[in-house]
Amino acid sequence: MKKWNLILIVLFWFSNNSLANDFEFTPNLQNAYSELCKLKVQHAKQLLAKEPANNGIRIWLEDFADMIVLFASEDEKEYERLAENEDKRLDLIEDLDENSPYNKFVQAEIKLHWALVKMKLGHETKGGFDAISAYKLLEENRKKFPNFTANYKNLGVFHVMIGSVPENYRWVTKLLGLKGNIQQGLKELNIAINDKIVGKEAKFYQLFIQSNVLTLNDDERQEITQFVNNNPDNLAISFLATSILMRDNKSEIAQKILQTRASGSGYLAMPIFDLYQAEILFNKGNYPQAIQYYQNYLKNFRGHSFLKDVNFKLFLANWLTNNPDKALNHLAKIPNVGKKLSETDIIAQNFYEQFQKTKIYPNKNLVKANYAFEGGHYAEALEFLDNLDENSFTAQLDKANFNFRKARILQKLNAQNQAIPYFERAMALCAGQNCHFGASSSLQLGYIYQQKNDKLKARMSFEKAIAYKKHEYKNSIDNKAQAALTEMGI
């Protein structure tokens, strides 16, 4: 009897010891994770190959590596080759220690990796189901392991996104069992930022959320540049900061990050940086150099994102430098390249279709003002509009564009009271139309009244922004307007 007891004890100890090692985050794996976060994928894979194949952390990081490559390259053939790894890896994780907080966490990470890839490639329904599944796994894990801080990295992102869904679509989130709000999500991200392992990735997501869903203040802008300075060898952070600063009309600061970003053969190839450089030059009016960088992007990128937009910009750059034949050649390419997934690609496609009907070119000074503004060159943008007024245009959309752009320039130059009537005029010109200038004007008016602490007018403006129907910026404007309403406690 004692002999059998001893055997059972040994077997029990061996079994538990084996399970304890199912998710062993060794120093080597921590190094591999750090390299992946820097976009040094090949070196990370070499480190991963040294670990046992049945270690759940290795399985997670191998999946992370696949996601990074597929998300950056948008390679459909590579996606088809690797897609079966999702189920294979999930099956492997399910057989590992269920009492480890990493079990459901890693399952959720894998689901979320493939959700991002599928949505990037246009498989939005499949990606959506993966994302919902990831969310539910993270919620289950939170209930079982409330002190497992890494869990809050993606759970925080989910809760912010759920909280920014407009009120008239909340029934969908409730139907799917999705619960959460913006403040909850931000608190969870702050918890994850303090995690010793995933903290930097959580900070990456927090800044992304702050810039894309909420609004940035000067302290947060400073935080972004400090994040870059503290991580000079991290290409992903340079990518994020460049993207945020360009969206925030801070192209001069973005240019400095582009010039000093980490480089070398060890890093993942990122043609997107050619596109960013082209945009900075284009917005500054340096069209010949911008054309070179746009062409580099087309030459080096094999995916579908921004191909319509780049050909549209090449049309504009050549047209603005008096090369009409080259301009029309790029315009003709728009319907045959890329996909209509990004807002800028949708705008390019819409311009092409409208031009085919009317053959009317846009006003050159208005075009220059639009893009000078995007680059943060506000004084120059205002100069382009000095000799124009609403009567300079015949098309209703151009009149709305003019009023919106003048308002935005005045707003950025801290002349908010002067900007208000131009925003209101843009809204009036867009009345009854699917016109993003009206929706954008409503959003900006909401921000102005929010700063003035006029909650009633702010609320009316944000709700009006959401009320505009189909337009190119529908998703982003609705999310920002709802986020602002939530921040106001509405």
Q: Number of structural domains, the chain?
A: 1
Scan for tokens 């952070």, then name that residue: 237
pLDDT reported for residue 14 = 35
Confirm whether 142 is domain-assigned. Answer: no
pLDDT reported for residue 179 = 74
Confirm whether 199 is domain-assigned. Answer: no
Contact 112, 134 (CB under 8 A): yes
DSSP of 138-159: HHHHHHH-TT-GGGHHHHHHHH
pLDDT reported for residue 212 = 79
pLDDT reported for residue 341 = 85
DSSP of 113-124: HHHHHHHHTT-H
Scan for tokens 């800044």, then name that residue: 207
Q: Structural domain of residue 289, as residue ranges?
A: 284-487
With CA atoms as reference, report the closest residue to 52 among 61, 43, 39: 61
Residue 443 sits in a domain whose CATH number is 1.25.40
Confirm whether 405 is domain-assigned. Answer: yes
Residue numbers in the chain where pLDDT is lower than 50:
1-20
pLDDT reported for residue 477 = 87
Q: Which pTM was predicted?
A: 0.87
67 Cβ neighbours under 8 A, 6+ residues apart: 113, 114, 116, 117
Confirm whether 482 is domain-assigned. Answer: yes
